[in-house]
Amino acid sequence: MIYIIGLLVGLLNGLFASGAGQVLVFYLIFILKEETHKARSLSVAILSLSSIFSIFGYSKIVSFDLKIVISFIIIAIITGFIGTKLMKKIPANILNLISGILIVSLTVYKMIWGGK
């Protein structure tokens, strides 16, 4: 089962650059019964590596402005650090609720306005 989830997460991350973290977190929390905070930490670690490898595939079909990429990396590192400090203070059920609301909101947005 873990190989199937790994395959699905890698494909989602490579194809869409989104959604893979939620699939992985769901699997870790509800199937493997990992603690919510640990599952989210594992998801970030795994997807960070997956994203690095996805960059090589994308770099063959699109060009990146290095200044923008480096700016986003720096901002993501800083806000990622802040986010992990905040996450430790939020109860697991609230984290899951926030995550669910964000996913539903993004799904509705993509269904209505995403194709334009």
pLDDT tens digits, 35-83: 989 998 888 888 888 878 878 888 888 888 888 888 988 998 898 888 8
Handedness of CA 36, 106, 81, 15 (dihedral sign): positive
* pLDDT attached to residue 20: 78
Residue range 81-94: average pLDDT? Answer: 89
Q: What is the pLDDT of residue 14?
A: 67
